[in-house]
Amino acid sequence: MKTSERNQTTSISIATPDGRFLARYGRKGLVSLDFPGAAKIGPRGSLSARQRVPGDIRRWHRVTVAALKQALAGRQPQALPPLDLSAGTELQRRVWRVLRKIGRGQTRSYGEIARAIGRPKTVRAVGGACGANPIPVLVPCHRVLAINGKIGGFSGGLDWKRTLLKREGVRVQ
| Residues making contact with DNA (CB under 7 A) | 89-92, 109-111, 119, 121-133, 136, 141-142, 144, 146-148, 152-156
Q: Which is nearer to DNA, 61 or 142 (CB)?
A: 142
Q: Are 127 and 113 in contact (CB under 8 A)?
A: no
Nearest distance, CB of residue 55 and DNA, angstroms: 32
Nearest distance, CB of residue 45 and DNA, angstroms: 24
Residues 6+ apart with CB under 8 A from 151: 145, 158, 161, 162, 172, 173
Active-site pick, 12, 102, 141, 164: 141
Residue 39 class from Cβ within 10 Å (0-12 exposed, 13-18 middle, 19+ buried)? Answer: middle
Q: Which is nearer to DNA, 78 or 148 (CB)?
A: 148
Q: Which is nearer to DNA, 64 or 107 (CB)?
A: 107
Catalytic site includes residue 130? no
Q: Is the dihedral of CA 61, 65, 71, 72 positive or negative?
A: positive
Pairing relation of β-strands 108-109 and 144-145? parallel
Nearest distance, CB of residue 125 and DNA, angstroms: 3
Alpha carbon 159 to its chain centroid, in Å, reads: 15
Q: Which is nearer to DNA, 1 or 114 (CB)?
A: 114
Nearest distance, CB of residue 142 and DNA, angstroms: 7
DSSP-derived letter for residue 155 is T
| Enzyme catalytic residues | 141
